[in-house]
Chain A
Amino acid sequence: MLKTIRHPLRTLLLHVEAVFDRAFGPHWNPIRQLGTLAFFLFWVCAVSGIYVFILFETTVAGAFASVEYMTREQWYLGGIMRSLHRYSSDAMVVVMVLHMGREFVLDRYRGARWFSWLIGVPTIWFLYMSGISGYWLVWDQLAQYVAIASMEWLDWLGIFGEPVATNFLTPDSLSDRFFSLLVFIHIFVPLFLLFTMWIHVLRVTQPKINPPRGLAAGTLVMLVALSLVWPAVSHEPADLAVVPASLNLDWFYLPFYLLFDAWGGRTLWGLAVGVSVLLAAMPWLPPLRRSKAARVALDKCNGCRRCFADCPFGAITMEARSDSLPFEQEAVVDTDACARCGICVGACPVSTPFQRAGGLVTAIDLPDFALGHVRDLTERGLRALASEPADGGRRVMVFGCDHGARVGDLEQSGVAVVSLPCIGMLPPSFIDYALSRGAADGVVITGCRDGGCYQRFGVRWTQERLEGMRDPYLRSRVPRQRIRTLWAAPTDAAKLEEEVQTFRFWLRGLEDDHSPPPPEAALAPESVE
């Protein structure tokens, strides 16, 4: 069921992402920076908020006038700050919803990622409480409406002896003291928000918190321009003796008030709590995929720490040796944090296909998709390549990943494929292995699109390993021109196929004459970040 929703959404997302890639380039692409953008917008909101607060008067009688002063008299600074404060907080809702949607659509919220997802839920609450409480402070008609409705909503719980909404009955029932309490809420809740945002990324290894400078600058310029062109303004001043008739709602923060007016407190509470619980439970809802976590074969492990350095989920720790081998440390896997990506397998120096036939045993392996199995698949592919393809192109072995463009469809005469949980699982020695056996003339390495690696760092580490910047290196004897890295999302399948075919005939040219320079591949054969 979930798959049928997710699949078309993922296709859409990847197409949109590709369009943005063209305008922003892969590094500035906002679709891949939604989390970092939310952080950036928070800072914009915090700085403008501090300025606005300096000019703000925390009394019932003075609040409205002080906001008017900012907007009209001091439009060039106070007005801009007020608008920035409003628009950055609105943008934060958009960006947060998209960020959450993207993690959902790309299926990045289960398993090792449950922590970030779960903390995301109170983050939504705090963001909304921050935004809504901000609207109270202007003390215009909108504030009056929002404040009264909020209190009525709280009163539904019946936990206050006397309804809180009675504070807003008549102009003289609202005291400065109560108003100050509202201001307090608007200062403290954003602090909690920041706190949960921090916890949210606490367990992410090497999280990206700040957007790239170009994107941050663009966003800030956009917000300032918007503030100048379309400054935020107030409604008429609040008057508790009069019901405001027509309201210019902020549709990012306040649409729930419509539902409150239409359905009442009980339904809205049910909805809010129900949706939150459902969201919070999502990482554990079926379909559960329970493959086994990576496992260390202690007698093979020499404690070199490479798996530890490469694990994108911080699932490996190096601990004191528990056996009698003469090494200082050993790798230990935290099964709860392990995402079963296999990147550690690709990092381990023991992972080489050049081992005695029979069981291939490496020091760290995925029990349900062992490296020995990968070698068997490779062998099978090489056997299939043994016969000359009829079309005259050369023979290519493709190593791909389950989350990038599907490589299964590429299989045909002259092309053999192996798909891994992540391309980062492939030890570079497998490339050497495939080429040195003489059955393949070239090797294609493919995985998620630039910057969009499902397992976070699989593409990046692969690139660095091939470039000789990261262990384990690809041996220097391997002819580099016979390797192509083509990063492709599931929606890029046709393109990938085209590139593979081009490569096959280019390889033939390599043998025919004295190697022209390699063609510029269209699928970005380059490093990420």
Chain B
Amino acid sequence: MENTFTSVLFYLVPILIFGPLFFMILWFVGLRDIIIVPPAVKEQRRREREEAGKLAALKVRKRRGGRFTTREGAGLSPLAWTGQGVAYLLFAGLVGYLSSAPDYLYFDPGDALIKLSLSHPGKRKVACRRRTRKELAELPPNMRAPLKCPRERWPVEIELRLDGKVLYRGLRKPAGLAGDGASSFYEKFPVAAGVHRFAVRLGESGQAGGSDYVLDEEVRLAPSQVLIVGFRSDAGRLFLK
């Protein structure tokens, strides 16, 4: 129960704090002009309400006079009620059925799925070097770092071979405007379950066909298994999992 309470609070508190704030921003940005009902319409609504009372009284009188009858209140026939029942039934049937059927065979149950998913920064294009005394003197005092490191990185290349055949080969640019982020890969390959030999190579220094990291491993894939091909940055190696 305590859990429920805290989780309710968890949502309630931000809604209460940010909700009005967000609303106020929208309000001043232009919501006000959309929402505020023009005085003319307001006036009209007031009038409508006023008239409604008068109308109701008149309606009663007129109905007694009986020139233009209204069908309101006129009973529906049993057949009509049955018709309504059928309509509701059909609608319920449609909603109930399509909400979880027919089945969608998303993935062949005899296959396994290889997901190549890794994020790895390429090598810096220019290695860091020590600034000369002169260069240091030209910099403002608070920026006089002894190392100069241009941030741009090489794109990363990956090749994934399965049983000797190339399954994937791709080159990814580093993220970030300055080209200084990691290169990210996210690819999926369904393959038949069974034993497969994986050969992966990763090049990070900008030469085509580079192999700064390699992996060569045989794996038995169970049906429907997800196998991740990734890179463990703490250990500095490719892995299969």
Query: Interface of A with B (CB < 8 Å)?
Result: 20, 22-27, 30, 53-58, 62, 86-87, 90-91, 94, 145, 152, 155, 161-163, 165-166, 169-170, 180, 183-184, 187, 199, 202, 205-206, 218-219, 221-223, 225-226, 229-230, 232-233, 240-252, 258, 261, 305, 308-309, 314, 316-318, 463-464, 466-470, 480, 485, 524-527
| Chain B residues whose C-beta falls within 8 Å of the C-beta of A54 in the assembled complex | 4, 8
Chain B: CB-nearest residue to A165: B186
A58 x B58 contact (CB < 8 A): no
B226 x A242 contact (CB < 8 A): yes
A226 x B95 contact (CB < 8 A): yes
Bound-complex Cα distance A74 to B220 (A) = 43
Q: Is B211 an interface residue (CB 8 A)?
A: no
Q: Is B181 an interface residue (CB 8 A)?
A: yes
Supposing A155-B186, A163-B184, A243-B224 touch, asked if A467 and B62 sit within 8 A by C-beta, the answer is yes
Q: Can you list, as one digit per residue, whether each of B90-130 has a CB less than 8 Å from chain A (1) or not (0)?
A: 01101110111111111111011101010100000000000
A467 x B117 contact (CB < 8 A): no
Supposing A57-B3, A87-B99, A161-B176 touch, asked if A467 and B106 sit within 8 A by C-beta, the answer is no
Bound-complex Cα distance A58 to B6 (A) = 10
| Chain A residues whose C-beta falls within 8 Å of the C-beta of B76 in the assembled complex | 23-25
| Chain A residues whose C-beta falls within 8 Å of the C-beta of B230 in the assembled complex | 169
Chain A nearest CB from B89 CB (Å) reads 8
Bound-complex Cα distance A145 to B105 (A) = 12
Interface size on B, residues (CB 8 A): 74
Bound-complex Cα distance A180 to B70 (A) = 55
B62 x A468 contact (CB < 8 A): yes
A318 x B34 contact (CB < 8 A): no
Supposing A230-B96, A318-B43 touch, asked if A241 and B80 sit within 8 A by C-beta, the answer is no
Bound-complex Cα distance A165 to B116 (A) = 12
A162 x B41 contact (CB < 8 A): no
Q: A230-B96, A251-B102, A314-B41 known; 13 other A-B pairs, CB under 8 Å?
A: A27-B72, A57-B7, A58-B7, A87-B96, A161-B176, A165-B186, A202-B34, A240-B226, A245-B106, A247-B106, A309-B48, A318-B43, A469-B55
Supposing A23-B83, A57-B3, A199-B34 touch, asked if A242 and B71 sit within 8 A by C-beta, the answer is no
Chain B nearest CB from A192 CB (Å) reads 10
Of the candidates A25, A245, A252, the one whose C-beta lies within 8 Å of that of B105 is: A245
| Chain B residues whose C-beta falls within 8 Å of the C-beta of A183 in the assembled complex | 11
B67 x A187 contact (CB < 8 A): no
B41 x A24 contact (CB < 8 A): no
Of the candidates B55, B95, B241, the one whose C-beta lies within 8 Å of that of A90 is: B95
- Closest CB pairs A-B (n = 5): A23-B83, A317-B40, A248-B100, A245-B109, A251-B98
Bound-complex Cα distance A94 to B97 (A) = 13
Q: Is B143 an interface residue (CB 8 A)?
A: no
Supposing A180-B10, A199-B34, A527-B68 touch, asked if A243 and B107 sit within 8 A by C-beta, the answer is yes
Bound-complex Cα distance A8 to B181 (A) = 58
A526 x B69 contact (CB < 8 A): yes
Chain A nearest CB from B168 CB (Å) reads 16
Bound-complex Cα distance A28 to B193 (A) = 58
Among B40, B55, B109, find the residue whose CB has the most chain A CB atoms closer than 10 A: B40
Bound-complex Cα distance A526 to B111 (A) = 67
B99 x A245 contact (CB < 8 A): no
Chain B nearest CB from A319 CB (Å) reads 8
A23 x B106 contact (CB < 8 A): no
| Chain A residues whose C-beta falls within 8 Å of the C-beta of B176 in the assembled complex | 161
Q: Is B35 an interface residue (CB 8 A)?
A: yes
| Chain B residues whose C-beta falls within 8 Å of the C-beta of A22 in the assembled complex | 80, 83
Q: Is B87 an interface residue (CB 8 A)?
A: yes
| Chain B residues whose C-beta falls within 8 Å of the C-beta of A466 in the assembled complex | 68
B104 x A225 contact (CB < 8 A): no
B59 x A309 contact (CB < 8 A): no
Chain A nearest CB from B24 CB (Å) reads 14
A245 x B7 contact (CB < 8 A): no
Chain A nearest CB from B106 CB (Å) reads 5
B72 x A242 contact (CB < 8 A): no
Chain A: CB-nearest residue to B223: A245
A251 x B87 contact (CB < 8 A): no
Q: Is B205 an interface residue (CB 8 A)?
A: no
